[in-house]
Structure 1
Amino acid sequence: MGIRAGHIRIAAAAIILTGLPAGAARAANGAYAVDAADISETGSCKVESWMQAATNTDFSMVANPSCVVDPFKLKPVELSMLSNEARSGGDWSTTFAPKAKMNLEPTGVGKLGFSFSAGGQFDALTGQNQTVFATIPATFRLSEVTRINLNGGWLWDRTVDRHYFTYGIGFDWKFTDTLQWTIEGYGQAGQSDTPSVVRPRFQTGVRYRPNEIFSVDLIYGHNITGENANWITLGTTIRFPVPGGRPARERTGHL
């Protein structure tokens, strides 16, 4: 019965990840740009979604379902499919971004943990592969309620055939039982004909998480794409129980 339930859960994950509309790639850790090294427990799933509005009238609606699977009993892998319906400069686009993430070294208080993630971004209408990316997210937990996240990686923008080094640093502080504050800086370095593409970006936000199942984020700052506009983001996350009925949560720590 346990094996059958596991197969059913893996199949459900595949349906979730392939049956949703298209999306965009530059996202991690929900609506935040800097990813943490942790992944949830095997069998858990979640759906992250957010809306973003910019001062230059650009707009974006994102859905990012993900599930953690371990079909070969080697290491758990988080599979996600981000979909993005966006308006930029008056034009609408739909893209999707599949991504896989594996934790290589668990995090802990006073210990550096890290993961590896990779994926790409595709145009939903044309099927054109727009970007390919790989990232190493690292997390150092200062305490059970504070952590520093570091990201370093590579991005290939195939639309202009340019390669970039991607980077990010973020700080999370869970200052009450239900509230968490995040501040982060991130960007990409390399040759570009558009200066804003390689200009560092910053944003900060607060997460309200009343229980293990649901959380909501309110974020203000700069998006990695678009012109020099300020963005406000409203996001939600819904987590689904792992086998046995326990709520989905990160492997280590309380954040």
Structure 2
Amino acid sequence: MGWAARTGIYAAITALVALAAQDARAANGAYAVDAADISEVGSCKVESWLSTASNTDFAAVANPSCVVDPFRPIELSMQTIRARSDGDWSTTLAPKAKTNFIPTGIGRWGLSAYGGGSFDAATGEALSAFVVIPATFRLSETMRANVNAGWLWDRAVDRHYLSYGFGFDWKFTDTLQWTIEAYGQAGASQVASIVQPRFQTGVRYRPNEIFSVDVIYGRNITGENANWVTIGTTIRFPVGGSEPAHRRTGHL
């Protein structure tokens, strides 16, 4: 096998793993930069999205999650990711657990942590593992800044990365929210685009406490220098109206 062929296969595998890792980190629907908040114990939601790229790459994701309290509130989720990269299809499962340590509030930082991994649904082979620390600073009832820092292990090529993310959310009407974010992973890679920054911006329409829909534009989402369009939905199942206070009052 020639060098060009090996490089192409390496790039395809790396892109698939990067897609699984990026989607596994996503906790705010299809957005990649997470906030420090979690929902109240007993509440559940199902996030799903379809993403298509200018290079014909594609991803369909379903992500059910619930908050339980075995010894402290923990949000448990399990993503199922069906993806096409460079013409090759894969199905990936990505479990994750998240807990909050410092609640968010206006004029102060909130802090949480989450960790998990991803594996190939067909073979059971582990693909990645990750740990992330999200921090959120609320500027007001309708604006917040999110900062993420973490570690990512890409098992397919046995490389370790520092992951990072910066995001800003602004709820500019009662039903519309704008999000912009930049994120990525830093470290040694034979494929330059894998460690180049990634970008997303989008608008969320949330007419009530149960349902919301997102329309998102992204660039270099899985490290392939392509443009992405994503349509996502979230359906929430609060127990006894047990949403965080800022959500019950219509704030971020």
Q: Gaps spanning 5+ residues in structure 2: where?
A: 1-19
SS in structure 2 of the partner of residue 25 of structure 1 = helix
CA distance in 2, matches of 1:107, 1:96: 30
SS in structure 2 of the partner of residue 196 of structure 1: helix
Amino acid corresponding to residue 60 of structure 2 in structure 1: M
Report the counterpart of residue 45 of structure 2 in structure 1. Answer: 46
After TM superposition, give the deviation of residue 249 of structure 1 in Å: 3.0
> What's 2:140 paired with?
143
Within 5 Å, give how 1:120-199 maps onto structure 2: 120-199=117-196
| Identical positions, percent | 72
Equivalent in the alignment of 2:69 = 70
1:29 CA displacement:
1.2
Q: Which consecutive unaligned segments of at least 5 residues does structure 1 have?
A: 1-21
Alignment of 1:2-151 (within 5 A): 25-72=24-71, 75-151=72-148
Change (3 A) 1:145 1:111: same
Q: CA deviation at 1:222?
A: 2.0
Listed one character per residue, the Cα deviations across residues 130-180 of structure 1 (whole Å, up to 9, x for unaligned) are 000000000000000000000000000011010000000000000000000
Q: Aligned partner of 1:249: which letter?
A: E
C-alpha contact 2:197 2:220 (8 A) present in aligned 1:
no
Q: Does 1:249 align with 2:238?
A: no
Q: 1:225 Cα shift?
A: 1.3
Which residue identity lines up with residue 63 of structure 1 in the other structure?
A: A
Whether contact under 8 Å (1:201, 1:224) holds in the other structure is yes
| Residue of structure 2 in register with 1:224 after alignment | 221
> Contact 2:187 / 2:195 at 8 angstroms: preserved in 1?
yes
Amino acid at match of 2:192: P
Give SS of 2:24's match.
Answer: coil
Deviation for aligned residue 1:27: 2.1
The 1:172–1:56 alpha-carbon spacing in structure 2 relative to 1, beyond 3 Å, is same
Residues 26, 224 of structure 1: 8 Å contact kept: no
Distance in 2 between residues matched to 1:251 and 1:152, nearest whole Å = 26
Aligned match of 2:205 in 191, 205, 208? Answer: 208
Task: Give 1:251 deviation, angstroms.
Answer: 5.0
Whether the aligned pair in 2 keeps the contact of 1:156 and 1:162 (CA below 8 Å) is yes
C-alpha separation between the residues in 1 aligned to 2:69 and 2:188?
39
The one-letter amino acid paired with 2:59 is: S
Report the CA distance shift for 1:32/1:250 in structure 2 as closer, same or farther (over 3 A). farther
Equivalent residue pairs, number: 229
Tell me how far 1:227 sits from its aligned partner. Answer: 1.1
Measured after TM superposition, the shift of residue 252 of structure 1 is 4.1
Q: Taking structure 1 as the reference length, what is the TM-score of the superposition?
A: 0.87
